[in-house]
Amino acid sequence: TPAHLKQIHGGSVIELESDRPLPTVDEIVRLDGVQEVAQDGARLTITTQGMHDVMPRVINIVSREGEIRSIAVREPTLDEIFLGLTGRALRD
């Protein structure tokens, strides 16, 4: 079921926006529990797995570089789980 897939392969997705782009996301990528980091300008999307203490460490890293404008944590979508499992996006 979708709920079972999210429970087994889920984790969390942290969406964060700062006042300016980070010069590098290498420090965030190396954190335990971080699977993927995508940066689009000043917006970061961080996919985590199984670690509940990732958020404070991410906030600490980003705060050193600038001001955090918004932050949200959500469950991954089924599309994101499918992409993570297969490496391919769904096509109609």
Between these two residues, 75 and 70, which has the higher pLDDT value?
70
Please report, as a single letter, which amino acid is at residue 6.
Answer: K
At 89, the pLDDT band (50, 70, 90 cuts) reads low
At 85, the pLDDT band (50, 70, 90 cuts) reads confident
Q: What does pTM read for this prediction?
A: 0.77
* Residue 76 pLDDT exceeds 90: no
Of residues 79, 16, 83, 53, the one with CA closest to residue 25: 16
Query: Which H helix or E strand runs over 85?
Result: helix 78-86
Q: 21-68, pLDDT tens digit by residue? A: 999 899 999 999 898 899 999 999 998 886 668 889 999 999 998 899
Q: What is the mean pLDDT of the chain?
A: 84
